[in-house]
Chains A and B, each alone.
Chain A
Amino acid sequence: MGHKHAHPEKAWQAIRTEAIESLLNEINVLTSEDIDKVVRHYEENVGPKTGAKVIARAWVDPEFKKRLLADGLAACAELGIGGPETELLHVVENTSKVHNVVVCTLCSCYPWPILGLPPVWYKSSAYRSRLVREPRKVLSELGVELQEDVEIRVWDSVSEIRYLVMPEKPDHAENLSEAELAELITRDHMIGVARHIHQAG
């Protein structure tokens, strides 16, 4: 405080990132517009709503569901969803006796094109190390209480294979349209840290 040459207020990571971007610009490797385009796409177009659409379609269309479970990426491509970031998308289905939950123990692999960017806690050491060791406890801490006879399957994402959880379709949802169903599905359902689908009203 008070000295003339104040310490830079920017984080060193911000400074280095800006310096790298500036060098890349200068040597004509990347323009700032190239970078803007990617960031804008992820901030505005991609998010968990995309995944919710896929799941809702599977709930109302049994043939689509079969294709989705057989080859996730191909089925998503039918809906115009996809991207270069994933090689294989494996959709895992919850049932009354099985609960699926996704983690990436090594880093933070996540189905970006379908769920957007992962939440902060997904990348934390705590989630990544504990979910595999004590899934029932971690899930219960996150509010998912499972009966003893429900099997938990923990899926460890790697860069070639990403997982997406298909929650169980809620009972008494016959009157809901595909779009209304999609509204009920959250990111946490598709990671598997939420189970019950809450219906409004």
Chain B
Amino acid sequence: MQSETLSAALRQSGFENLTFSTPWSARLFGMTLAASEKGFFTLQQFQSALIGRISEKERFGCINTDDDYYTCWLEALQGLLEEKNLWQVHQLREREVEVVEAAEHRKEYQRQGQYTVQPEVVK
């Protein structure tokens, strides 16, 4: 842990002013608060789960980036939701495959020029 790390991090002002550095971390954050508002777990329970993931991660390394941090967050949320047996393990895996395929499909569609870039109406 070099002494530059902290000052360097502070100076990254572009990064600083972003609320969320990736779209997935924003969705994750939103899902967590929304699920706790609906009573699936309390924020304290989530906090404990997050602390658990972070200390696990820090046994082997450090949290240096927002991605490191929100990865722990993701694992904590996933763990809490899976305790509620909301889905079977294989369902999540299948859904992940579908997500990847859908993204590929969208890209393919764009490559084939199916989307036309033009204004809907010009008056």
Contacts and interface: CB of A to CB of B under 8 A. Distances in A.
Interface of A: 6, 8-11, 13-24, 27, 29-30, 34-39, 42-43, 47, 84-85, 106-109, 116-117, 119-121, 123-130, 137-138, 141-143, 159-160, 193
B1 A109 contact: no
What are the nearest 5 A-B pairs in CB distance?
A125-B62, A121-B9, A35-B30, A19-B95, A159-B47
B23 interface: yes
Q: Which of A11, A17, A129 has the most CB of B within 10 A?
A: A17
Nearest to A34: B34
A17 B75 CA distance: 10
Contacts of A127: 6, 9
A198 B55 CA distance: 38
B6 to A, nearest CB: 6
B38 interface: yes
Contacts of B35: 24, 29-30
B103 A10 contact: yes
Interface of B: 1, 3, 5-7, 9-10, 12, 15-16, 19-24, 26-31, 33-35, 37-38, 40, 43-44, 47-48, 50-51, 54-55, 58, 62-67, 69-71, 74, 77-78, 81, 86-87, 91-92, 95-96, 98-100, 103-104
A117 B33 CA distance: 13
B24 to A, nearest CB: 4
Contact of A29 (B21, B38, B71): B38
Contact of A142 (B6, B15, B70): B6
A8 B98 CA distance: 12
A187 to B, nearest CB: 9
Contacts of A107: 47, 50-51, 54
A119 B14 CA distance: 11
Contacts of B71: 13
Contact of A120 (B16, B29, B50, B99): B16
